[in-house]
A and B are shown apart, each in its own frame.
Chain A
Amino acid sequence: MLPNSSPLWGGWEGPLNIKKMAYDKFTKLTSPAVPLPIENVDTDQIIPARFLKAVERKGFGDNLFRDWRYDKSNQPIADFPLNQAKYSGKILVGGKNFGSGSSREHAAWAIYDYGFRCVVSSFFADIFQGNALNNGILPVVVSPEFLEKIFAAIEAANNAQFEVDLENQKFTICATGESTGFSINPYKKHCLANGLDDIDYLVSIKEEIKKFEASPNPLH
């Protein structure tokens, strides 16, 4: 304990005003997808640091991929996928190691605020994956081969539909009917499907946390 530590419990007494998360429940999604066939898309690209100065969680979508989306005179860069009218939808498909680097949750907020509900890649960075799940975005991990099939399907028909079925943990390329399973932690699946967050749960087990704190431990 730090010397000025206080034994007071500060957290559990207040009323729980909010039961609903800031995101919508995720169940099933059928949508075209936007391709971003680049690897190691780091969170500095998703939302550059200079846009992290807000103290509220809103408006980050405007600056999603800011420096790939706009040039220095704020004109849209024509060949960036988000600027191409032929691509649309609530699914973003990225190359492997998506979301690496900074832990900034603003990256997940920007993706959600822009309108994406699902990000597909063959590999996600850990912190981004957690942040996505905590914000109603479903990260779907597929094999590198299946990822190539998705990119190919989008190129074959830009408005190709994809179905993301959380309950059955299945991602389908509608045009060909090809599908793949994906894994998700059952607890996080439950949270996502019901619009719940971890804080509600943690507050509900307060007695157990108190007991843990009181238990003998060389550190406490």
Chain B
Amino acid sequence: MKTLFDKIWDSHVVKQVEGGPSVLYIDRHFIHEVTSPVAFLGLEKRGLKVLRPAQTIATPDHNVPTINQNLSIKDELSRNQVEMLKKNCVNHGIVYHGLGTEGHGVVHIIGPEMGITQPGMTIVCGDSHTSTHGAFGAIAFGIGTSEVEMVFASQCIMQPKPKKMRITINGTLSKGVTAKDIALYIISKISTSGGTGHFIEYAGSAITSLTMEGRMTLCNLSIESGARGGMIAPDDTTINYVKGRQFAPKGADWDKAVAYWKTLKTDEGAVFDTELVFDAADIEPMITYGTNPGMGIGVSKSIPTSQSLTGTDKLTYEKALKYMGYNEGEQMIGKSIDYVFVGSCTNGRIEDFRAFADFVKGKKKADNVTAWIVPGSQAVEKQIRAEGLVEILEAAGFELRQPGCSACLAMNDDKIPEGKYSVSTSNRNFEGRQGPGARTLLASPLTAAAAAVTGKITDPREFL
């Protein structure tokens, strides 16, 4: 009896090093401009070439501007990094999805939308949110640059097998509660280290009823619980999503693939190292109030007190609230905000923009709010335009930008100014994550929309 994770892991072990890690074969390797240059350099110093360029997919996303992408990138260091990626791809025969091209976008958005991400695969990228691809029933996780170099050189990586955790969420989600809220709820319960050492499988009716995009949002945030990744067994939702995409198997290969994918589920009676069960009915729209994704609460709740904390726990908690400019026991609702960011590999897909546009339709952006609406890819942008969402957004006072990671990590010019509050659909509220001194409140696109039109933290359910 095996878990889904075991089945995929075991089928990719080339060799087990005695007393050491497994040599794990990698099916797909996504690369971007920030974590690959030193790996290419290392490879060249060794006189090696990328072993399997055709299994390697490249796009610049972390560092790119989200306006005027047709012009040369102004920041010299950013431009250099993007150009270096292109040059390295040419030298090593890797397909490069450059700025402005049809396939460009945030690396974790383009993989699934092109059908490169498929059930049963092992997928890595020098980016911790590679866990996104686990939504398809794949083993997908972020790696460091040394490991990027390993995959370049050998299409393999050395990894100890993680422990297994299953998180089951039964029941039906309430109105206004999204996959993002499920993820922030879980992390608020188990903390940012609760998943460390584990690989998560999500299960239960609240999970299987999610769309593929919702599943990607949930798996994306697995790393924020400390877990290396999260996965969901492939089902008809998965198969229907993959079908017909550019790189999906075709004809007889498709039938063969589907037959295999249908075997990819945890056997009844298979044992997990850790099992957690939550009730969907307990989850409300979530928002964070602190400086890590585990510091989240239902939007209608008050900031917890530190009474039960001692030692470094207490110091750390107080440091976080001080940074945020908040006090223990305060209500979140009604707090003024300055920025709204919709986008990132967490919530930068078409359903996120549909939800946001549907909410703001016929309303107006609050005057005190600056909003950055950043599609996750060219394909998402195209779809936003095709569905007439741009007109809705513009009528409500929102401007659509161009694809990239943008204010999620603020490597480009999209930086939240010091001390300002930003309700963000992204994944991390660490100190300075969105710019030095910036204060981030993580939330779903719906909760972000409610904040954008009211100018303050608002329960989106009031409008639904």
Contacts and interface: CB of A to CB of B under 8 A. Distances in A.
Interface of A: 1-6, 9-18, 37-40, 42, 44-45, 48-50, 52-57, 67, 72, 95-97, 100-106, 108, 123-127, 130-131, 134-135, 148, 185-188, 197-199, 201-203, 205-206, 208-209, 212-213, 217-220
B238 to A, nearest CB: 15
Contact of B46 (A6, A44, A127, A199): A199
A182 to B, nearest CB: 16
Q: How large is the interface on B (under 10, 10 to 19, 20 to 34, 35 or more residues)?
A: 35 or more
Most-contacted residue by chain A among B81, B120, B128, B142 (CB, 10 A): B128
Nearest to A1: B54
A66 to B, nearest CB: 9
Contacts of A101: 128, 223-224, 428, 430
A52 B247 contact: no
B67 interface: no
B78 A187 contact: no
Interface string B33-65: 011011001100111111111110100001100
Contact of B146 (A52, A134, A203): A134
B277 interface: no
A103 B127 contact: yes
A55 B41 contact: yes
25 contacts: A2-B116, A3-B247, A10-B49, A10-B52, A11-B52, A11-B155, A13-B49, A18-B46, A40-B292, A44-B430, A48-B432, A52-B62, A53-B77, A55-B37, A97-B192, A102-B409, A126-B197, A127-B143, A130-B144, A185-B19, A185-B21, A199-B150, A203-B154, A218-B120, A219-B118
B244 interface: no
Interface in B425-445: 428, 430-433, 436-437
A38 to B, nearest CB: 6
B431 A44 contact: yes
A37 to B, nearest CB: 5
Interface string B78-118: 10110010000000110100000000000000000000101
B312 A45 contact: no
Contact of A213 (B23, B25, B192, B436): B25
Interface stretch (B10-18, B326-334, B448-456): B10-18
B23 A11 contact: no
Q: What 4 A-B pairs are tightest by C-beta distance, nearest first?
A: A187-B20, A11-B51, A5-B54, A14-B47
A199 B81 contact: no
Interface in B395-449: 409-411, 418, 428, 430-433, 436-437
Contact of B20 (A44, A45, A188): A188
B80 A17 contact: no
A147 to B, nearest CB: 9
A27 B101 CA distance: 50
Interface string B119-136: 011000011100000000
A100 B292 CA distance: 10
Contacts of B294: 40
A3 B115 CA distance: 12
A2 B126 CA distance: 20
B114 to A, nearest CB: 10
Main secondary structure of the interface of A (DSSP, over half): loop
Given A44-B431, A72-B436, A100-B226, A105 B257 contact: no
B193 A40 contact: yes
Contacts of B411: 49-50, 52-53
A54 B398 CA distance: 34
Contacts of B20: 185-188
B316 interface: yes
Contacts of B95: 2, 4
Contacts of B35: 103-105
Contact of B128 (A17, A37, A127): A127
Given A103-B126, A219-B121, A131 B116 contact: no
A134 B144 CA distance: 9
B145 interface: yes
A94 B223 CA distance: 20
Contacts of A213: 25, 155
Given A49-B410, A197-B146, 19 more contacts: A2-B116, A4-B95, A14-B47, A18-B46, A37-B315, A39-B313, A48-B432, A53-B75, A95-B316, A97-B192, A102-B409, A103-B126, A105-B145, A130-B144, A199-B149, A199-B153, A203-B48, A217-B11, A220-B27
A105 B144 contact: yes
B319 interface: yes
Contacts of A186: 19-20
A130 B57 CA distance: 24
Given A2-B55, A37-B315, A67-B432, A218 B256 contact: yes
Contact of B193 (A55, A103, A123, A127): A123
Contacts of A185: 19-21, 160
A123 B197 CA distance: 10
B81 A55 contact: yes
B251 to A, nearest CB: 13
A10 to B, nearest CB: 4
B31 interface: no
A89 to B, nearest CB: 20
Contacts of B23: 202, 205, 208-209
A52 B52 CA distance: 26
B325 to A, nearest CB: 16
B71 to A, nearest CB: 19
A72 B197 CA distance: 36
